[in-house]
Structures are given as structure tokens and as C-alpha cells.
Amino acid sequence: MSIASVFFRGFIYDGIRPPAAGELEVVRGRVNSIRWGGGGRHMLKIGEVEIRSLTPLLLMPTFYDNHVHPLVHLSSRQYIAAPPGSRWNFREFAHWIRRRLKMGAPLVIGSLEENMFVEGRLPTGEDMEMLGITEPLLLVRVCGHRGYATEKALELLSEEDTFEPWQVDRAEGRVEEDALTLLRERILLQGSLKGMNEYSEHLLSLGISHAIAMVSFEEYERFRELPPPENIRLYFVPLLKDFLTRTSGMNREERILHLKRLRHSSLPVVGLKYIGDGSIGARTAHLREMYDDTATRGLDLIVEEEFMEGLELALRSSLTLFVHAIGDGAIEKTLRLYREFLDKKGMDPEEGRREGLLRIEHAELLPEDLLEVLGELQVPLCMQPNFIRRWQNPGGIYEEALGPQRLRHLNPIRSLVERGIALFFSSDSMPEDPLFGIKGAALHPTPGQSLPPSTALTFYQRGPLPPLRGSYLRLSVMEGNPASFTVVAPGGKRVVTVRGQRVYPGAEEAKVL
């Protein structure tokens, strides 16, 4: 059933022109009129419920989050996120965990950072066992690339699992990369999952109407058992290495046919994800030169044969290869191999762009020479301005890891815009609130790299338009279109309408605005 009527007076950003005062009216679920200019107290009327605001209101298009991780929201009992701003010593942390452990049930604690602990590091599995915690417990760093597990949790990994031996250190309980992904999903998928609609309601409450979910194939198969989400466009990108392992009995043609079926399933697959390195915080992002505070250049996880096979499958299945590459070493190698693939196929960069063959996820450390190559090869980037806000300020973890010289080349979003490089914003679920990320882009600490909020908004309101590979959707508010928009008040409270069908959180509840 469509929304009967909505009237809004305040500032309007339609996704095209700068925000300006105006009035908007919705009739039978569609935007009937937008009138620019005028004045009067800002207000929002939904049906018979009228909300008059003493503070400014802004109406804007809904958001497109290009990179989310749904599993932690869907796991009903096995996951707890560490509260932001927490501060413990290891003994206090162990006491906090004990109050949340259920007898014998495995548990994952996520969103952990070193600065949460007096000791200046994450507790190891060995630390937790010395403090009396013997249950299956996995502690995961906020980046998702390193964790620590108790011995009971490590028992959930079997000899049949495929990961490199260095990814598990049983003495201290350290787990990384593929081994960490396996262990985390093994714990989180043990219990019952919430419905996909609960996750979509969570995204819609933030104003997100479109999202791309990064998943393992095991997660994807479990999600397919649930009723598909309503009122939101949710697309899926399973891990390439997972896919190659699970289809090892298929030849390439059979794999391509399988991927084409998944493109048109109830949970549409739009690409395959390839992990090229780790994270800066864990000192595992692959750099050209050593970290400033650690004698390592990080992890080079790109295997040439796998990468090329991923591009081949993407090309022939009308999908995109999404490559996780954070450090300049990983980005450089990704671009070199992509150029070799185009040359081998007799394709120029413009054809590669039209085909939507490659997108780089994160792409944080970008010296000038890599900006040149990105522009030449026309490779789109998906970046996370919330990372800028959380870790890139002077004296933060990024400066500790990279030093002040390389910090200048980190997340150079304005330089990318000025060079015309296709850019998409996302959250990586850290946190999923687009307004948090937009503030990170607007308050970029590197001189000359900040973006005006209205410009930053545009990159959070565009993304792929499946099933048309290489085509992109730009969300906007236009007369005649179904009513999809977000009304935001100071402090971040918001009311969202979706395709003229629903209002979140609901007309009566919206009075909290």
C-alpha cells in the first residue's frame, strides 16, 4: 500500500543541485511537486501526523552503501560488538566477557581496538585462558583481518579447511585472513539467524535503500535459506577463493553458468571479492616500503593465477571483480595485473570501464604515481570516509603506522574527484551510518583533501545498477518518481520513506524528530 500523503517544508537536496529552501509534496506514494524558495517553520506532515521543528530539517535522497557485512547483524546470539570508547585492562575485560558467555556456547567479540586496553594491545587467546575463560571465544580486531581465539574455539577449525599455515598460531591463539573468516563464520552460523528483513529494517532506519553485501559463500548459502529482504535493494559479492574451492569439481564453463544463475537469483550476485592484502591497523596492508613502527611491509595476498581467473570469470559472467587493496603495494600490483589482462584480451581501458570488470575496495594509500595509473586505466574505487574520521587524524593509528610523509597520500578523495576517477562511498559496517562517513570526508585532516558535504553526499548516493554491468544508479528526488528520501534533523535523527511504500520509523514514532 502506498503512502497516502507527505508534506515537507525545509531545506531540500535533490541529489543534483545544492541544498536550498523549498517545499515537497507526496501524493499516493509519488513526489507530486517540488517548489523552491519560500520560508516558514520547517515541518514534516505524514498523513494526519504533523511534526513542526524548531531546528532546521534537510530532505535528501536515500543512501547507497557500497560495502557492508550483514552476518554480524544476522547472527542472533553469537556476536557482540565492543562498545565504542570502552577502556579495560585484561582482567576487567575478562569479567565483562564472563557476564555475556552462555554455558559452552561459542561467542565472537568484534570491533576491538588496541586503544581499548590499558595494556596497549588486544588480549590473546592465551591471555583469556590464563584469566579463566576456556569457552570457545574469538576476539576480532575492528578491521576483521586479525583475531585471537581460545583453544576451544580453534578446535572448530579442521584439517580439511584450506588456509595457509601461517594464518594460525595456536600458542597465542592468533588467527588471520582466511583462517579468521572460516572460524568467525563457523561460530556465527552455528545458531539460528535473524530474518533478512530485520537487517533491511536496520539499514532503512539509517536511510540506506541500496547496499552491496560482502560475504563468504557459506554465508551466502545460509542467507538464501531465509526469505529475501523487502523494501531494499541488497546485492551480494561472495569471496572468489571460496567460490573456486567450492566449485573445484567444475570446469570454467560450468562455473560461468553457475555464476550467471546466481546473478538472477532472489539474492542477486553482482561480483566476486578478492582479498589482496590486510589492514593498516593490523600492519598487514601490503606496502611498498616498511611500516614506520613495525619491521614489515604487510601481506601480499595476491596470487596472479587466482586474480586472472577472477577477471576471466567476471568478464564472461557479466560480473565485477571487487579487489580489496589498501596499501600502495597491493594497489600497484592490482593495477599491473589488470593492465596485463586488458592487453591479453585486446581491450582498452574504456572497454574495461564499460564492462565494469574491476573495482578496488578501500584503496587508501595512493601516492601521485598511482593516481596517474588509476586515471589512465579508469578503475573505479570504493572508499570509506568513516575510516578517515576514525583513524586518520594527526597522532592517530594511521600516522603511527605510516609516519607523517605517507599520511599525506592517504585517502586523497579530493584529488580523485579532481582527476575524474569514478568514486563510490561505503561504510564497511564501521559503522554503517552514512552521515558519520560524510562528516569524515568534510573534515579530512589533510590540507586540500576535504569535500563539501553536498559533494560527499553524491558519492554515498550512487552505485552499480544490476543486472546492467558497468551501469550506475544515482539516487535523487524528482517529481513523478516514487517517494524515496531521508529527512534529517540536527543530531542525526531521521525519517525515511522508501519507494512510496513505507515510512521508517513510522509516522507516530517519527515525532521523536
Asked if residue 67 is part of any domain, the answer here is: no
Q: Which of 188, 206, 222 is the last residue of a domain?
A: 188
User: 254: buried, middle or exposed (CB in 10 Å: 19+, 13-18, 0-12)?
Assistant: exposed
Q: Which residue has the cell 598487514?
A: 284
Could you give the 3-state DSSP secondary structure of residue 25? strand
The x, y and z cell numbers of residue 380, run together, are 573505479
Q: Which of 134, 159, 188 is the last residue of a domain?
A: 188
The x, y and z cell numbers of residue 102, run together, are 552462555
Regarding whether 217 and 360 lie in a shared domain, the answer is yes
User: Cβ–Cβ contacts within 10 Å for residue 125, how many?
Assistant: 26
Regarding whether 158 and 98 lie in a shared domain, the answer is yes
Could you give the 3-state DSSP secondary structure of residue 342? helix
Q: Which amino acid is at 167?
A: Q
Q: How many domains does the chain have?
A: 3
Regarding whether 407 and 339 lie in a shared domain, the answer is yes
Using CA atoms, how far apart are residues 416 and 399, in angstroms rounded to an integer? 21
Question: What phi and psi values does residue 133 have, to the nearest 5 degrees?
Answer: -100, 110
Asked if residue 69 is part of any domain, the answer here is: no
Regarding whether 209 and 350 lie in a shared domain, the answer is yes
Regarding whether 458 and 354 lie in a shared domain, the answer is yes
Given a contact cutoff of 8 angstroms between Cβ atoms, the answer to whether 267 and 223 are in contact is: yes
Regarding whether 343 and 237 lie in a shared domain, the answer is yes
Question: Which domain, by its residues, includes 55?
Answer: 5-61+477-512
pLDDT at 24: 96
Q: Which of 137, 156, 188 is the last residue of a domain?
A: 188
pLDDT at 76: 64
Asked if residue 495 is part of any domain, the answer here is: yes
- Strands (DSSP E) contained in 192-232 are 208-215
Question: What phi and psi values does residue 8 have, to the nearest 5 degrees?
Answer: -130, 140
Regarding whether 444 and 508 lie in a shared domain, the answer is no
CATH code for the domain in which residue 492 is found = 2.30.40.10
User: Cβ–Cβ contacts within 10 Å for residue 80, how many?
Assistant: 17
Regarding whether 269 and 166 lie in a shared domain, the answer is no
pLDDT at 54: 79
Given a contact cutoff of 8 angstroms between Cβ atoms, the answer to whether 480 and 16 are in contact is: no
Regarding whether 489 and 416 lie in a shared domain, the answer is no
Asked if residue 73 is part of any domain, the answer here is: no
Asked if residue 72 is part of any domain, the answer here is: no
Regarding whether 137 and 115 lie in a shared domain, the answer is yes
CATH code for the domain in which residue 85 is found = 3.10.310.70
Regarding whether 315 and 179 lie in a shared domain, the answer is no
Q: Do strands 20-27 and 5-12 pair parallel, antiparallel, or not at all (unpaired)?
A: antiparallel
Asked if residue 437 is part of any domain, the answer here is: yes
Given a contact cutoff of 8 angstroms between Cβ atoms, the answer to whether 499 and 207 are in contact is: no
Regarding whether 101 and 222 lie in a shared domain, the answer is no
Asked if residue 306 is part of any domain, the answer here is: yes
Cis peptide before 505, with omega less than 30 degrees from 0?
Answer: yes
Give the list of residues 6+ apart from residue 237 with CB closer than 8 angstroms, or none. 212, 213, 214, 215, 269, 270, 271, 272, 273, 322
Could you state, in chain order, the average pLDDT of each consecutive group of 10 residues for the chain (513 residues)? Answer: 81 92 94 90 87 87 95 84 94 93 83 96 95 93 95 91 91 95 90 83 92 94 89 94 94 97 93 97 97 97 98 96 98 98 97 95 98 97 96 94 96 97 94 91 96 93 82 92 90 84 66 50
Supply the Cα-derived Rg of the chain in whole angstroms.
23
CATH code for the domain in which residue 470 is found = 3.20.20.140
Give the list of residues 6+ apart from residue 422 with CB closer than 8 angstroms, or none. 353, 378, 379, 380, 381, 472
Using CA atoms, how far apart are residues 42 and 21, in angstroms rounded to an integer? 10
